[in-house]
Structure 1
């Protein structure tokens, strides 16, 4: 009897020790939920059911020839976002995260790891990895173009802000110095991706290309919404050492994009006059949209005018010192298509 009691006591003590050891073990990432393989298997087990499949396309052509160039043009922005977010979060370029996706294009200029708080780092890391998927999905669907030379240096972002304010900021703006500056820099590019995809959708017809653009647009819009929401939360905060609020920074950057784009107002900061807000009833502007709360559209020429910081799609510079790649972008420069690669099976 005593032996049985001792044995039971020993087993209880062992269980308690194991539990305490498990609790003491640090998790690789406390943000991640506990793995539940059985639940995942249950969720995915009915994927083959008819109700899970999309309806057949009205036009059973996956990719029309004229779909290719507009979608490949978008890769310029996807490369840019991928490099910016990956460098800021991990201090690594696309070639180190996903070798060969750059298709031999040169590495970016001046991109580096940013000094970010925990939340902003997680956002940058997730966005960067999402952009890897975007580049891959475009290449897989319509073929790819080589990564263009991209200038992501602090000097180039400082030039953006100097243009936005009409005079040099002192000290020069640095997107990598802290989380707030990084978010303000992030305000510039993902929004243009939304404009581009809204403009691309009406001019493509393949069911695979339409599905691709819809998927890309959804995530780009989500990224922009996250950035704008974080900035909106800080809209009254003064950006040191410039004595200018976050809201004014966004107003200035939006005005710059409108000015460079040369096609009217297609961009708005975090606050607007009430008559320009949703249904003319609110002055907050967490999402930039037109009078019917629809996303604005921009053409490739408009986007290049902005991204070149020149106001002219024929004059490269800014984020693309040697110009963007693909047939559309190179046509404005009177140069060849620059090594486009067909999608597998095309």
Structure 2
């Protein structure tokens, strides 16, 4: 366990909070003179949404959309590795919109049997919690309201998905393989969501940070896909079935290329899902919502029974 946490120690040179503070100082958000979310010809002491800073308001909406998704991932990994969620990690979940609870079975902590997989899961849990903390700090320091954690369902959602892939009463917290399959549902979506949202960001510093988060999510996705492929044919088939479900929810025109790929294609490993130019796929916010809500054009459902918080929902 220690080996996976050394690189995230709290020493002055590696403190992740110090990096975030430096990030916000670059935006002029901390200190006596911190004011605007993004540079604009007309500056205001209070940069809350108004007719003159539409670009900043759009950036905040995109970051809040990402925050909703990070809440989901962080809760999943923290509950699976520690048995408690963001509150246990002492990370706030309040903010704009209705703050929801997390629906999950009693005692969700996974009993890992492979030390390496447990270490990977703990590292990813730390990363996802840090993403939540980071986005909340950025949005809070900008004087825009960070959204509250919406209600998250990690119980009925997996039961519904399990029925679609032929696994009745699927419980992602039952064992380490199930946990990897549950993680597979999220990770590829996170990568494609960040890539798809990148053209919506107007502030280059935000774009750089989003690219950094995308990179981390891609590392996670590659690790999860590798572990599932190595687990054998049954695990590969289930992952490919999950990929088929996600692809169906993308609601692409008939004959259009898929935005999703399983871990195996034609009996060959497929660790990196990408197009013909080896470029990662992009999903629009609507396509991401289709997946997390479990139906095209839905406004709530599956992982978010009451919908997301924020303007992109």
Q: TM-score of the superposition, structure 1-length normalised?
A: 0.69
Q: CA-atom RMSD, angstroms? A: 2.9
The aligned residue for residue 107 of structure 1 is 101
| Cα distance in 2 between the residues matched to 1:32 and 1:124 | 12
Shift in CA distance, 311/33, structure 1 to aligned 2, threshold 3 Å: closer
With over 3 angstroms needed to count, the CA separation of the structure-2 counterparts of 1:273 and 1:152, relative to structure 1, is same
Conserved? CA contact 2:290–2:298, under 8 Å: yes
User: Based on CA coordinates, which of the two structures has the bigger radius of gyration?
Assistant: 1
Kindly indicate whether residue 250 of structure 2 is the aligned counterpart of residue 261 of structure 1: yes
2:140 maps to 1:139: no
Match of 2:284 in 1: 299
Moved over 6 A (4+): 30-34, 40-44
SS at match of 1:188: helix
Of the candidates 198, 218, 221, which is equivalent to residue 221 of structure 1?
218
8 Å contact 1:69–1:326 — kept in the other structure? yes
**Hey, what does 2:69 align to over in structure 1?**
77
- Pairing partner for 1:207 from 190, 204, 209: 204
Gaps of 5+ in 2: 16-37, 41-54, 141-145
Kindly indicate whether the alpha-carbon contact (under 8 Å) linking 2:5 and 2:123 is maintained by their aligned counterparts in 1.
no
Greater Cα offset, 119-128 or 319-328: 119-128
Aligned partners of 2:201, 2:39: CA distance in 1, in Å?
A: 11
Among residues 150, 154, 160, which one is paired with 1:152 in the alignment? 154
Q: Say whether the 8 Å CA contact 1:71–1:200 is kept in structure 2.
A: no
Q: Distance in 2 between matches of 1:312 and 1:285?
A: 30
| 1:334 counterpart residue number | none
Q: What are the within-5 Å matches in structure 2 for residues 55-204 of structure 1?
A: 61=39, 64-103=56-95, 105-110=99-104, 112-117=108-113, 118-143=115-140, 144-153=146-155, 155-165=156-166, 169-170=167-168, 172-204=169-201
Q: How far 1:33 sits from its partner (Å)?
A: 6.6
| Gapped regions of structure 1 (runs ≥ 5) | 1-27, 45-59, 237-244, 275-282, 330-346
Partner of 2:20: none
Report the Cα distance in structure 1 between the residues aligned to 2:6 and 2:104, rounded to whole angstroms.
36
Q: Answer whether contact 1:141 1:209 (CA < 8 A) is retained.
A: no
TM-score normalised by L of structure 2: 0.76
Q: 1:286 aligns with which of 255, 271, 278?
A: 271
Instruction: Name the CA distance, whole Å, in 1 between partners of 2:111 and 2:189.
Output: 25
Question: In the aligned structure 1, how far is the partner of 2:219 from the partner of 2:232?
Answer: 19
Q: Is the 8 Å Cα contact of residues 105 and 146 (structure 1) preserved in structure 2?
A: yes
Verify the 8 A CA contact 2:91 2:133 in the aligned structure 1.
no
How many equivalent pairs are there?
A: 264
Cα displacement (A) at 1:32: 6.5
